[in-house]
Structure 1
Amino acid sequence: MSSEMEEVRLNLGHIELAAHLFGPADGLPVIALHGWLDNANSFSRLAPRLKGLRILALDLAGHGHSDHRPAGAGYALADYAHDVLRVAEQMGWAHFALLGHSLGAIISVLLAGSLPERVTRLALIDGVIPPTSGPQDAAERMGMALQAQLRLDSKRKAVHPTLDQAIEARMKGLVAVSREAAELLAQRGLMPVPGGFSWRSDSRLTLPSPTRLNEAQAMSFVQRIACPAKLVVAAEGMLARHGTLLEQLPFEREQLPGGHHLHLNDEAGATLVADCFNRFFGIP
């Protein structure tokens, strides 16, 4: 396992993103996409264990050291997918694999289904399609999202007096993580502010989506994927309880012990996920 990593920045014209670059220069091109409110350090345990891959682990827009979107803009899934394509152009990668966790897995599925000719392999960790809803909920959801957007102007980010308190807050977040995982995410996600520390992530990331796909629309992306795909399901994660959805997926699937961040929470989990994906990519 090599831990060599290069910090890079990519100017996409409309936004500048930060990233970590791992692996040999002649390795198989892979773009790695982290989960909601995480950052590129999500792959700091996993990426060095993957063999023969040139992995570009992004800070998605609004996360980590990447720029926030301009005032008035939002964080739609299609905009993330567009960013990834711009990144591929910057890297000179006409074809590339995607490695995604949670939100990053969702973006990966949408992109691989939209442009199946561009994506060579799909490696997913505890995420597949976005949350769905029926058409009868569309107007109510839009109203809820618009009101939340207006209220955001009067809200201030939480300030944690100490670094340790900020890390503990991340450990107890909507999706709990280990202390080690929280510390790794904090290295890239925290910034000093008057009175302590605050998370760098854009507050607009917490806004509800004004629209959602219905289940048939979401599954249409899955059905168009043409490349080999491998899904790691965390036994104590978010997908394990969605057996009906999992049975509909035409992907190779493997369930591993651990929570939603099993690839980051500890060395044992990272090793299990790496062993799984090294077999999937098939590079000796």
Structure 2
Amino acid sequence: MAGSSQPPAPEPLAESLSLALPHVTVAAQLHGPRDGVPVVALHGWLDNAASFSRLAAKLPGLRILALDLPGHGLSGHRPPGLGYHLWEYAHDVLMAAEALGWQRFSLLGHSMGAIVSVLLAGSMPERIARVGLIDGVLPQTGAPSRSPERLGQALRRSLRSRERKPLYPSIDDAVRARMGAGYPVSREAAERLTERGLVAIEGGFTWRSDPRLLAPTPMRLSDEHAKAFIAEVRCPVRLILAEQGIYADAAEQMAALPFECCWLPGGHHLHLDDETGADAVAAALLGFFSD
């Protein structure tokens, strides 16, 4: 009927995957044709592989491995005594690619996953073909003079008894909590992330993620460290920035980066919040990984 709007086509089902790496078992979702261009997709802090569930179907011709990084989603947690540092995630990604036999591949990262992508591309340029970044590029840096104080905070926190996870009476309660936690997301985005991030326990539901992800970072890279990694990236990089995202007040700093930048309307999770944002991100990335 004229003037009527058609609902979006259903998304192709993703293939579930579990990779037993030498140091941890990671879960993932595989999208796209088996002979597609290999791309590893990395989500943000406290998110999971569902972060790319709306976007992946809009990027034809790619074989996208959307990982649950260790401590997140359905992946295993690191053993006691080990933490969740950016460079350790880079190692996880490399080992996952090794498990699939991907000697050269591209990266698609959001937020923390984008930062990990830059670290890996700068340190292993021979393995990375292209990098797509969504509202993430630079790690939080710190002055070397603050390092002893920061490490002390982390060590004191580690001596405390393990903190209890939040308990939600219903899935809807968890969804509403996720909508307002950290960087706010739409209800649809929260539902997608929650479906993969929750586990049923006595009395309700709680997050699968490792509580240690909330611990203070014991060490931060300096500004010089961050610039050094960026300078060593040898492949094409396309940086998609959200106009209402985390770099909204850093346009000058973003323009100074040696990467191709594109600003799009939306918040930090613009690729997941709604179809409009996902379509815009997909259009910005269309053809990039297969050029």
Q: How does 1:19-58 map to 2 (within 5 A)?
A: 19-58=28-67
CA distance in 1 between counterparts of 2:156 and 2:256 reads: 35
- Secondary structure of residue in 2 paired with 1:237: coil
1:143 partner amino acid: G
CA distance in 2 between counterparts of 1:184 and 1:203 reads: 20
- 2:5 corresponding residue in structure 1: none
Q: How does 1:235-274 map to 2 (within 5 A)?
A: 235-274=243-282
CA distance in 2 between counterparts of 1:4 and 1:157 reads: 31
Which deviates further from its counterpart, 72-81 or 222-231? 72-81
1:282 Cα shift? 4.8
- 2:3 corresponding residue in structure 1: none
- 1:166 corresponding residue in structure 2: 174
- 1:186 corresponding residue in structure 2: 194
Q: For each residue in 1:257-283, what CA deviation from the matched residue of structure 2 results, as whole angstroms up to 9, or x when unmatched?
A: 000000000011011001111142356
- 1:175 corresponding residue in structure 2: 183
Which one of 229, 252, 260 corresponds to residue 221 of structure 1?
A: 229
2:92 partner amino acid: D
- 2:138 corresponding residue in structure 1: 129
Q: For each residue in 1:63-111, what CA deviation from the matched residue of structure 2 results, as whole angstroms up to 9, or x when unmatched?
A: 0000001111111111111111111111111100000000100000000
CA distance in 1 between counterparts of 2:35 and 2:88 reads: 29
Q: How does 1:193-208 map to 2 (within 5 A)?
A: 193-208=201-216
1:247 Cα shift? 2.4
1:154 Cα shift? 4.1
- 1:94 corresponding residue in structure 2: 103
Which stretches in structure 2 are left out of the alignment for 5+ residues?
A: 1-8
Which one of 114, 122, 125 corresponds to residue 113 of structure 1?
A: 122
1:170 partner amino acid: R
- 2:93 corresponding residue in structure 1: 84
Which deviates further from its counterpart, 105-114 or 73-82? 73-82
- In structure 2, do the counterparts of structure 1 residues 224 and 230 end up closer, same or farther at CA, with 3 Å as the change threshold? same
- TM-score under structure 2 length normalisation: 0.94
CA distance in 2 between counterparts of 1:14 and 1:164 reads: 35
- Contact kept, 8 Å, 2:109 with 2:132, in 1: the verdict is yes
Would you identify which runs of 4 or more consecutive aligned residues in structure 1 move more than 6 Å? none
1:242 Cα shift? 1.7
- TM-score under structure 1 length normalisation: 0.97
- Secondary structure of residue in 2 paired with 1:55: strand
- Contact kept, 8 Å, 2:38 with 2:102, in 1: the verdict is yes
Q: Do residues 66 (structure 1) and 82 (structure 2) align?
A: no
State how many pairs are aligned: 282
- Secondary structure of residue in 2 paired with 1:187: helix
CA distance in 2 between counterparts of 1:208 and 1:187 reads: 27
Q: Do residues 212 (structure 1) and 220 (structure 2) align?
A: yes
Q: For each residue in 1:5-29, what CA deviation from the matched residue of structure 2 results, as whole angstroms up to 9, or x when unmatched?
A: 1000001021100000011111110
CA distance in 1 between counterparts of 2:223 and 2:252 reads: 12
CA distance in 2 between counterparts of 1:177 and 1:77 reads: 23
CA distance in 1 between counterparts of 2:248 and 2:43 reads: 19
Q: Identity, % of aligned pairs?
A: 55
Q: For each residue in 1:190-244, what CA deviation from the matched residue of structure 2 results, as whole angstroms up to 9, or x when unmatched?
A: 0111111101100000111111111111111011000000000000000121234
Which one of 260, 264, 283 corresponds to residue 275 of structure 1?
A: 283
Q: Do residues 156 (structure 1) and 161 (structure 2) align?
A: no
CA distance in 2 between counterparts of 1:157 and 1:139 reads: 29
1:66 partner amino acid: S
- 2:6 corresponding residue in structure 1: none
Which stretches in structure 1 are left out of the alignment for 5+ residues?
A: none
